[in-house]
Structure formats: structure tokens, C-alpha cells
Amino acid sequence: MDQFAATAPPIRLTELAHGGGCGCKLAPAVLQQLLAGQAGALFPQLLVGTETSDDAAVWQLPDGTCVIATTDFFMPVVDDPHDFGRIAATNAISDVYAMGGTPILALAILGMPLGKLPIEVARDILAGGAAACAGAGIPVAGGHSIDTGEPIYGLAVVGTARPEQIRRNGDARPGDALILTKGIGVGIYANALRKNALDAAAYAEMLASTTLLNRIGATLGTEADVHAVTDVTGFGLLGHGLEMARASDVSLHIVASSVPFLSRARALAEDGFVTGASHRNWDSYGAGVKLPDGDSLTLRHLLTDAQTSGGLLVSCAADSAAELLARIRAAGYPAASIIGAVATGPTRIEVHAR
């Protein structure tokens, strides 16, 4: 199978990094230890901090406006510098959308191994990021750069929302339906790319998904029947779903046959293109997940696959789910699907085959 060549530089960006995309995240168990005890109880204006592992911080101004702040950066998930910049920027902006907000500006974060890559590569990465920001209608208003051993790029993003538009990951309600807005499998595709096993069509599919802005989140924040939202990134669908379950004190039931996947994700997983992040994710939170009896290991790998610039996981009133799903798809998210439901019970995830 021919490797997708596109306009990749002579030195492949992914060869300069020990990991790529949101698969570079620290394992969930490690992150929980690092953030323990850092809640913002002394700051009543801090409406959302680190206590429920939500997507961004939210600070309320005296006039009631909520300022949403987040940062996200990682090492290359693809070789084309412009594509890498677009993906990383789209991923960072997603945190604001996941809170129900609208981004207003971004600051660039850039680390480049200047002795290994020409300056033009850094310029192309920044241009890709600026293109994604332009698509979101925001400027890159500044930033910071350093000389590093591996290429790193991302953004710090600021957004705003009214208090009633903020959507936390901890407000899912028993009886809600669960909607996922993008297909799963980016980590597996990226691993296949690193190993020269991803063709042009699959690369185009991955790029289309990872550069699709989650702007529907700002609309969902205005919907009273939307109760909780989070974006699915490095911890996989199960990891971010488990964060929602624990923060909301509920159980999530996911129907495996309803989960949307990128078209070749299952085949590539079966061929061994599973990332180390998937194994780390399962080791961190597998005790909180019940998989279908007798199901294949492939399903576990897919549901723990580290997503880069993944979709939104939405908990909404069940009687509004079909209408909301239709509107989400019409807004440009054709893979969006109802994948399960919220129930009372232990704070865990139960995966059902059908």
C-alpha cells in the first residue's frame, strides 16, 4: 500500500516525536494524582476548575459573563506541517465549544527543534493553525515559542458564554440519551500513518474529521434539553465517558454497534495498529468499565483509542435526542449518532453489544 506523500517535508515530523496528538497525554490515573487537591474553593468566581476533569476553566465576571480559558498542545500526529497546525488548533479550540462557549481569541504555543527542521516548517505549522482559527472566526493574537527536542504546537484559547450556556461534564441526568458527533479511530489511523500503512483516502478521512471544528457546541449550549457535554480526546470514548459518569454520579450505557467509527478503524485495529495510549488508558480506568461478555479485544482497543480533535459526547433529554441528532448532522457532522443512555447506578460504563 502506498504511503500518502502529500507535501510532507524530507524529514517526517512524526519521526521526530516519541508520540503524537492527544495520545501524548499523561495517563488518566497519573493526571488524577497530579491534580488532586487543586480545586478552586477559595475563588467563588471560578465556576469550573479541575474538580471534575472538565474541558476548560470558567471564570465569571461581575456582569455575569463567563470567560472560558483552555490550553492544548502536542507533538505531530501527521507529517504535513500545515495539516499538523490545523489539527492541533482545531483540537485546542474544541475545549471552548465543549463548554457551550464561543471562542474569541487564541495564543500560539510553539516548540521547534531548530537544529533538525528548517524554519519554513515552523512557518507552515503556524499558518495551518492560523487557518483553523480563521475558520473559527478568531485571531491568533500572540503566543510563545521555544527551541525544543521535539516539535510541539498548540493554542491557549479564550472564549465567552452566558452562565446559562455553560455545559459541564457533570450534569448528565438518568434517562438522558447520549450522542457522539464524530467517528472514533483517529489514534489507530495516526499509528498506521507512522508505520507507512495509511493510504490517501484514509488520510483524507482522518484529516476531514480532525479539522472539523466542534462549533456545534456553542449551539448546544443554548439548548435547554442538552444537559452535559464533553469532548472525546486522548482518554478515548470510555475515558471521557467515565469522567462524565463520575462527575454526574450516574452510569453510562453505551451500545457498541451504534458507535460511529472511521471506515477502516476496525480493520486497522485488527491488523495491530493499536497505540500504546490505548493500553495505558485501559490500565488506568478499565476497572470502571464492563464490556460485553465474550466480545473481541478489538472493541476494547477501539473504545479506548486516543482521539485527537475528536467529537463531542452529549447527554440530552431522550425525547429530544432524535431532533437534536438531525440538527447536528445537518450542521455538518454526518457521523453523529445516538450511542447509548444515562442511568442510575454505580458510576461506571457498561458497554452492550447491541
Model confidence over 115-138: pLDDT tens digits?
Answer: 888 999 999 999 999 999 999 999
d(CA 83, CA 60): 35
CA 127 to CA 129: how far, in whole Å? 5
| Ranges in the chain annotated CATH 3.90.650.10 | 177-352
pLDDT for 50 equals 85
Share of the chain above pLDDT 90, in %: 83
The set of cell numbers assigned to 220 is 448546544
DSSP-based helix, strand, coil % in the chain, nearest 5: 40, 25, 40
Q: Which of 22, 24, 133, 316 is catalytic?
A: 22
- What is the layout of strands, in order, in the sheet containing 140-147? 46-48, 57-60, 66-74, 152-161, 102-112, 140-147
| Whole-number percent of the chain with pLDDT over 70 | 90
Reported CATH class of domain 13-165: alpha beta
- Torsion angle (degrees, nearest 10) of CA 292, 293, 294, 298: 30
Level-2 CATH architecture, domain 177-352: Alpha-Beta Complex (3.90)
In the chain, list all ranges with CATH 3.30.1330.10. Answer: 13-165
pLDDT higher than 90, residue 33: no
* Mean of pLDDT over the chain: 91
pLDDT score recorded for residue 114: 84
The answer, yes or no, to whether residue 36 has pLDDT greater than 60, is no
What pLDDT is recorded for position 21?
Answer: 54
Residue 133 annotated among the catalytic residues of the structure: no
Q: Can you tell me the mean pLDDT for 266-294? A: 94
pLDDT, position 237: 98
